[in-house]
Amino acid sequence: MSSRTAFVAAAKRQHAAPPNRRQLLSWLGALPLLGLAPRGWAAASASSGQPSGPSSDLSSDWAADPDAARAAALLATIGQAHWVQEGTGPRVVYVFFDPNCPFSHKLYLATRSEVGRNGLTLRWIPVGQLQSSSPGKAAAILSAPDPLAAFHHNENDWDFGESPDGGIRPLAHPSAAVQRQLKANAALMHRAGLHNFPVMLYRAASGRAHLIIGLLPEDTLRSVLRGVR
């Protein structure tokens, strides 16, 4: 096992409990209903931009590693998410984040030199749950006329005071549509048994789906991002 693989595995064990047998069987049983062949991957396209990719045999991954099944199932439904996009290239990483999460903020800072590099796109999926102001800040980002500018405002005006949090002002009365979007984002995380931030979801050059929960060292993060398909 390489040092990077060992580190990621350790991070997963530290931040999230592995799925149990019932969850794993549920995820695998849902894949055919989503249009996925039992011996390959063919992600269905969605209007929000869910990527599709060439088929590859992942059945052995599912049998050997429940986290691979969880990542593949989450990628299959990621078109239900609502995100803020940085970059326009074909290599996509999805990031679940809380606007007040200091580790999400550190991930943002660490990715500045990688966005757009060799076609890398980051899709930031806001979920507001860490602090009382988190839902309002997540809503403010999604409700803004320019969500990307609002996201940058939250991160670039970050305050590392006694209570570090994002710089955007929370939206007091988000629309029903934005509330539904945030509920959909949170539901995707919770159905996958994910409760910590940040969470990166992507497909590697090998075709294997991956989840990384928590913050990686910067050199490891660069290696991961440059290996995204």
CA distances from 187 to 53, 178, 208, 229 (A): 25, 14, 23, 26
Alpha-carbon distance 114 to 146, whole Å?
A: 22
Percent of the chain at pLDDT > 70 equals 72
Q: What does the mean pLDDT of the chain come to?
A: 80
Mean local confidence (pLDDT), 68-96: 96
Mean local confidence (pLDDT), 90-106: 97
Query: 213 near 189, Cβ under 8 Å?
Result: no
Residue 160: pLDDT band with limits 50, 70, 90: confident
Amino acid at 90: P
Alpha-carbon distance 135 to 133, whole Å?
A: 6
Q: What is the pLDDT of residues 190-208, one digit of tens each?
A: 999 999 999 999 999 999 9
User: Residue 198 maps to which CATH number?
Assistant: 3.40.30.10
pLDDT value, residue 100: 97
Please state the domain count of the chain. 1
- Higher pLDDT, residue 219 or 60: 219
Range of the domain at 64: 1-41+50-229
The 8-class DSSP code of residue 118 comes to: G
Any idea which of 41-50, 129-138, 175-184, 191-200 has the lowest mean pLDDT? Answer: 41-50
DSSP string, 3-43: HHHHHHHHHHHHHSPPP-HHHHHHHHHHTGGGT--TTS--P
pTM, two decimals, is 0.74
Helix (H, G, I), strand (E, B) or coil at 116: coil
